[in-house]
Amino acid sequence: MNTRPKNGTMSSLIFDNRFTRELPADPETANRRRQVTGACYSRVYPTRVAAPRLVAYSEETASLLDLSVEACESGEFTQVFSGNDLLAGMDPYATCYGGHQFGNWAGQLGDGRAINLGEIINQRSERWALQLKGAGPTPYARTADGLAVLRSSVREFLCSEAMFHLGVPTTRALSLIATGEPVERDMFYDGHPKEEPGAVVCRIAPSFTRFGSFEIFTSRGDIKVLKQLLDYTIRTDFPHLGDPSPAVYLRWFEEVCRKTADMIVEWMRVGFVHGVMNTDNMSILGLTLDYGPYGWLDNYDPDWTPNTTDAAGRRYRFGQQPQIAHWNLAQLANAIYPLIEDAKPLQQALDLYVECYHREWKSMMARKLGLSAFEPHTDEALIAELLSILPSIETDMTIFYRRLSSMDTSIESLASISDDALISPLMEAYYVSAQVTREYKAAIGHWLRGYIARARKDNTSLETRRLQMNAVNPQYVLRNYLAQESIDKAEAGDFSLIHDLLDLLRRPYTEQQGKEKFAEKRPDWARHRAGCSMLSCSS
């Protein structure tokens, strides 16, 4: 048995690599674009880069790997996590998977620019897969170069860590490294490509297995490898379910449904929009995976999507994310059907997703409103009324709920208070003052009166209610314009805002002195600017 160094150095990373040990490999070793059959992965090495420079790293993520600050700030760390060097025990590979993209089967996709370095077991016996994104082409790169630009890499690095600290299930980001090499991208897909600085992100997760990892083998009729992959997944990531069998496959699918429901509820709680919920971007662990054209709601708009590719159909808009997750789970059910051959229990598991989602969403909304529990006879209508009012004018979602916690719910003589007086604590949340008309004030005033009356029934003190609400309604999120400002600075060689945001977002529910500007509404200049309003998939 290996004796693990306990000094937090790079040599303390002990690689287990169970994925490559136990699952079938692509017999071809040439790194050329091709269809890969009968295999879960292809071995491939990262592409060396000219002048890697550490931009930022997450101390919290490093601690999951037992790495010290000194190790993360070493030259060896930069060389390894830029893809230039390999540590003893690393076994780099790219995985094979398929997926439904925008509702259509896309065939083989795979890790086109993600290269897994291997899996480590930390001192707490936790398994973590280490993956470089933007480290060069793989057999799954199709016509792409396998690289990533600083622009998208900053967004992935910051958002991974921001989501974790918000309490949203997510993959994690260890490091962001500039490569010192230009990468050509056509950001707007308008025939005007330009060179941008390149970068590599190292992200980690217990597993990067996706819904599409199973779909690809079923689509090809390769039931043997499908079973191998599912058996491996259960034994490695779901050992509590027992030895693989048709009954355990069903229990596994039920758990995936529950974990997915939990994740989507958390997205809806904080106003996160994934932007590209293809089945190849859905984690079987219920983790937020692949931060592409994501965004946060500024003004509450259930029809908003951050993805320019989705602008016409808005398939992946904020308000439809729960339904899309259900559709994606149905595709996963189709993929594992050959191992079960009984549609009824699979449908029951899909119904379980719907049940879990609605139950947890109602509970979450009650917490956002500072209610002790969801009471159907009053709260169904209360929440429905609020969600019909919020999009009627431009209302900042994050600020609205945060300011709602300061509402005085001890008021007894509601009839004697004017709408203007009631709404005054919320005025900071509105983008266009002219939209706050008499009619709007009457609508929100009516809701606030009902809300205050409902809150008073809980007999919760004002301070307790405020603390409870502020524990689930963040003061700070990674607003789209803040991410873009950090990118603008980084492309000019100034990484300070990346570090400021990383530090800020470690405590998203706590008001931080001197950080008031980060909690402000989207400035008007950012309303339609690329990167601040919508993004393309170009990265």
Residue with tokens 């009166």: 449
Residue with tokens 């992946």: 316
Instruction: State the Cα–Cα distance between residues 332 and 343, nearest whole angstrom.
Output: 12
Instruction: State the Cα–Cα distance between residues 61 and 72, nearest whole angstrom.
Output: 11
**199 Cβ contact partners less than 8 Å away, ≥ 6 residues apart:** 55, 134, 148, 149, 150, 153, 154, 176, 177, 178, 179
Please report how many Cα atoms fall inside a 13 Å half-sphere around the Cα of residue 243, on the Cβ side: 0
40 neighbors 96 (Cβ within 8 angstroms):
yes
Give the DSSP H or E segment for 116. strand 114-121
Terminal-to-terminal C-alpha distance of the chain: 42
Q: Phi first, then psi: what are they for 168, rounded to 5°?
A: -100, 130
Angle value at C-alpha 181, between 177 and 184, nearest 5 degrees: 110
**173 Cβ contact partners less than 8 Å away, ≥ 6 residues apart:** 58, 61, 156, 157, 158, 160, 161, 201, 202, 203, 204
3-state class (DSSP) for residue 514: coil
Give the DSSP H or E segment for 35. none
Q: Which of 35, 178, 54, 156 is nearest to 98 (CA)?
A: 35
Neighbours of 174 (CB within 10 A): 28
Instruction: State the Cα–Cα distance between residues 99 and 137, nearest whole angstrom.
Output: 19
3-state class (DSSP) for residue 134: coil
Instruction: State the Cα–Cα distance between residues 479 and 391, nearest whole angstrom.
Output: 18
Q: Which of the residues are catalytic? A: 280
Structure letter (DSSP) for residue 55:
E
